């Protein structure tokens, strides 16, 4: 699992897009670990953090795309939909975009 720090805490020279945070759970997770998503999502939801679940996209990206790779045609539309959702949530919450 990785949690992205605030922009001012990012390592020197790191590529940063202000205003975004990410949580990554290393997987795939065993089916025996039921409740892991709920255990992560519950406190985040209570804190007002919007969550979008797209298991096929997450698995595909995890298996076939490295960090800082460009998104190619296979995942482009799905990633665009996620970014559109994120921007919509930010606008609805009155956050700067």
One domain, residues 19 and 33: yes
One domain, residues 33 and 70: no
Q: How far is CA 34 from the centre of its chain?
A: 20
Higher pLDDT, 84 or 33: 84
One domain, residues 28 and 1: yes
Higher pLDDT, 68 or 97: 68
Written as six digits, the tokens of 31 are: 């089916």
* Structural domains in the chain (count): 2
Distance CA 11, CA 66 (A): 19
Q: Which of 16-25, 35-44, 81-90 has the highest mean pLDDT?
A: 81-90
One domain, residues 78 and 59: yes
Please state the pTM of the whole predicted model.
0.59
- pLDDT per residue over 50-85, tens digit each? 878 888 888 888 888 888 888 888 999 998 998 888
Domain that holds residue 13: 1-49
One domain, residues 73 and 41: no
């Amino acid at each position: 699992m990785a949690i992205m720090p605030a922009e001012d805490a990012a390592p020197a020279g790191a590529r940063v897009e202000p205003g975004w945070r990410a949580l990554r759970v290393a997987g795939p997770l065993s089916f025996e670990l039921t409740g892991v998503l709920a255990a992560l999502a519950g406190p985040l939801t209570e804190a007002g953090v919007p969550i979008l679940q797209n298991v096929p996209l997450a698995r595909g990206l995890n298996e076939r795309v490295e960090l800082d790779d460009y998104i190619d045609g296979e995942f482009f539309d799905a990633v665009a939909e996620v970014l559109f959702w994120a921007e919509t949530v930010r606008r609805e919450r009155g956050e700067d975009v």
